[in-house]
Amino acid sequence: MKPVMETDIQYLPGVGPRRAALLRNELEVATIGDLVRLYPFRYIDRSTVQRIADLHPDQAYVQVVGTVQKARLFAKNGAELPPDKVKYNLANRLSVIIADDSGEMEVVFFKGIKWMHPRLAPGSTFLFFGKPTAFNGRINMVHPEFDAPEAAAAGVLTGIYPSTEKLKSGGITGKVMVKLVSSALEMVLPKLEETLPEYILREKGLVPLSFAYRQIHFPTDQNALAKATYRLKFEELFFLQLSLLKQKYVRSRNAVGLAMPRVGDAFNRCYKALPYDLTNAQKRVIKEIRDDLKGGHQMNRLLQGDVGSGKTMVAVLSSLIAVGNGYQACLMAPTEVLAHQHFANVSKYLAPTGVKAALLTGSTGAAARREIHAGLKDGSIGILIGTHALIEDTVVFKSLGLAVVDEQHRFGVDQRAKLWAKGAGGVAPHVLVMTATPIPRTLAMTLYGDLDVSVIDEMPPGRKPVQTLCVGENKRHAMYNFIADEIAKGRQAFIVYPLIFESEKVDYRNLELGYEEVIKRFPEPQYHVAILHGQQTAEQKAFHMDAFVAGRANILVSTTVIEVGVDVPNASVMVIESAERFGLSQLHQLRGRVGRGAERSYCILMKGYKVSKESQKRLDLMCATENGFEIAEEDMKMRGPGDLEGTQQSGLPISLNIASLARDGLILSDARTYAAHILEQDPTLEKPGNAVLAAELRKDRYVRKDYSQIS
């Protein structure tokens, strides 16, 4: 027999098949357990009764005890109707005047009039609960709840649950939801099993689960609510981290790694030939990678670094360690543009080493492909750079030892798994995952909790800050003049248009109109304008991109195709059109395309006529700071972790019902440290005291496809 928490929601008294379908579709509530874990998102204090004279429209929900003075019916045209007309459904509005010893006010109803009118008879007294509003200079309440006056004595904090119009019209109102949750708790609490061992409750000062469930839904006071909230948040974040760290512990004990004890000649030759010193952050990260590679266990490391912090250099030197130990390396990029760019940069660094690199993308010709396949098999190609073409079955390495994945959230997990299967002798290669998307610490701990994390938190010397300006349409003429001045100095400019979905006709129209306008303002032969977007063929993209990179085109009009990795040191201006339509992380990535040369660079955020408060806040933050991690933290607070730069498809290992990665960073850190402490003592959770934890982790909500060998 199924546990109560796993029982289908339709069998809860008061639900049935029709309401069950609504709850499933609207709130993803499929079981009684789902309903118990659907927590109120705010609470209304119903413990106090206000005087009518003290009410004002700025207040939230309030309670008053009032006696009905008179009740009047009105038709649609505003004419008053006699009381007997209520039965013919002719009344459009019910206006009731109520009074207490301090004054009187109006309460208004537009629905359920036939039912309410006889109950709200003059002389009857009720407890009214609603939001005070002002109309014609007087306080009133629209559609308040009303109850017997003695209900005020039982006043407590009342939970407000997530809802939709479909739920309300299907009869699942706030009141009904409270009743359903109450019924669910009556079924669940007598049979509820504790999910945390007694020692954790004691050491962390947590209340029992039954207390937490009761008080989160029906709190007796603020103190009890705070204790319940903390217990449930800690538990969610603790199990989230325990599942990730257990995976990491098991992997680090079991995963045999290819041993790479030497640094090798190629590494030393490349390092000595560098025209500049590495930053201390780059040196620190290379040391962390070096320690992993010689340790005998498979490396699984995330390398975070802001745009332009020098991650590619770290990837090249790490690849050369693999080559120096007789292995091959590969670097997988999400777009052809970026793969070409990496190949150009890497080839430059490899020049003094004699190590051969090759480029493999979807548009590589058949003859070149055959040559690359042969070079990989015989080992003459040391480093392969490419797009997801690298994971094709026909690509066979002689001895793949290191796989570097750039902007890894752009690749599906199954795609990456195919690459790891190509490791030397059937042993998975070492894995270095790179991202230029600054990820807030709390999100990194969660999305990549089973990887080791390295951060390049220092910019190479000589990189000048990018001056960021936010301007409206009235400054467009001045913006074009500014671009012309920069071009006259020998510089280049990007103009980027939002293309949120490739199929959005409106966006393409904007891009086309924008391109036409730019060509008119910057005509040939004095100027050359290139254009780049997702519906071009690979050859067209390469033609326009090459023209811009080589300096033959002064301006590149583009969609966000250029967001990741395009490196044109001579470009000094980035114009972002309709900047209010971009997220913070995306704006930051785009800004990182300039400021790569020795010249002063500028990012101009062009905003539309109507900009929401939240969008303006994003634009102001962009003008205020260049720190990617600061921006990412703010982005997560504004938008929630799910939307952050592709993390949606990565998916959190479990869904969080009450904890928030944006707001509960301290609890998350504590939960992670505590989970690590438990696993140090008992990595496989085999001790009797941890049986409850092991059982909880086996539940469906924590079990995911085992990708522990990959990122």
DSSP 497-508: ---SSTT-HHHH
Q: Residue 646 has what pLDDT?
A: 35
**C-alpha of 422 from chain center:** 31
Q: What is the separation of C-alpha 457 from the centre of its chain, rounded to a whole number of angstroms? A: 22
Strands (DSSP E) contained in 533-637 are 555-558, 571-576, 601-606
CATH superfamily, domain at 54-154: Nucleic acid-binding proteins (2.40.50.140)
Strands 357-360 and 383-386: parallel
Distances (CA, A) of 184 to 30, 104, 662: 13, 40, 30
Phi-psi region of 105 (alpha: psi -120 to 50; beta: other; left: phi over 0): beta
Query: Rounded to the nearest 5 degrees, what angle is found at the Cα of 669, between the Cα atoms of 666 and 672?
Result: 145
According to the model, what pLDDT value does residue 500 have?
Answer: 47
* Strand ordering across the sheet containing 400-406: 357-360, 383-386, 328-332, 400-406, 430-435, 300-305, 452-456
CA distances from 644 to 473, 638, 663 (A): 28, 10, 15
Q: And the tokens for 331?
A: 């670097």
234 CB-near residues (< 8 Å, 6+ apart): 204, 206, 667, 670, 671
Rounded Cα distance, 694 and 385, in Å: 42
For 405-424, write each residue's pLDDT tens digit. 887 555 555 666 777 788 88
pLDDT at 662: 66
Nearest to 195 by CA among 699, 656, 652, 703: 699
Sign of the torsion formed by the C-alpha atoms of 360, 365, 370 and 375: negative
Given a contact cutoff of 8 angstroms between Cβ atoms, the answer to whether 3 and 31 are in contact is no
Quick one: angle between helices 665-681 and 222-254, nearest 10? 50
Yes or no: say if 129 and 136 are a contact pair by the CB < 8 Å rule: no
Residue 400 has pLDDT above 70, yes or no: yes
pLDDT tens-digit series, residues 640-667: 554 433 333 334 555 778 887 767 878 8
Query: What gap in Å lies between CA 388 and CA 395, rounded to an integer?
Result: 11
Backbone angles phi, psi at 71, to 5 degrees: -130, 125
Tokens, residue 540:
């067209």
Q: What class, spelled out in words, does domain 265-295+310-435 have in CATH?
A: alpha beta
What integer is the mean pLDDT of 548-570? Answer: 80
What CA–CA distances, in Å, run from 498 to 76, 124, 492, 514?
46, 61, 20, 11
Residue pair 319/383 in contact (Cβ under 8 Å)? The answer is: yes
Angle between helices 311-324 and 265-273 (to 10 degrees): 150
Q: How far, in Å, are 305, 318, 467, 596 from residue 591 at the CA level?
A: 15, 28, 10, 10
Q: Can you tell me the distance from the alpha carbon of 591 to that of 658, in angstroms, rounded to the nearest whole number?
A: 35
Mean pLDDT value of segment 116-129: 89
pLDDT classification of 102: cutoffs 50, 70, 90: very high
By the 8 A CB rule, do 659 and 442 touch? Answer: no
Residue 36 pLDDT exceeds 90: yes
With a CB cutoff of 8 Å and minimum separation 6, the contacts of 101 are 51
Q: What DSSP designation does 386 have?
A: E
pLDDT of 294 over the 80 cut: yes
Per-residue pLDDT, 567: 74
C-alpha dihedral, 158 to 159 to 164 to 168, nearest 10°? -40
pLDDT band at 153 (very low <50, low <70, confident <90, very high): low
Which has the minimum average pLDDT: 156-160, 214-218, 223-227, 515-519? 156-160
Q: Average of pLDDT values for 146-173?
A: 77
Across 234-243, 295-304, 635-644, least confident range: 635-644
Closest CA to 37 of 239, 320, 300, 200: 239
Taking all residues of the chain, what is their mean pLDDT, rounded to a whole number? 84
For the ranges 299-313, 363-377, 566-580, the one whose mean pLDDT is highest = 363-377
Using CA atoms, how far apart are residues 79 and 83, in angstroms rounded to an integer? Answer: 13
Measured between alpha carbons, how far is residue 326 from residues 265, 329, 613 in Å?
11, 10, 57
One CATH from 3.40.50.300, 3.40.250.10, 3.20.20.140, 2.60.40.10 for 466-625? 3.40.50.300
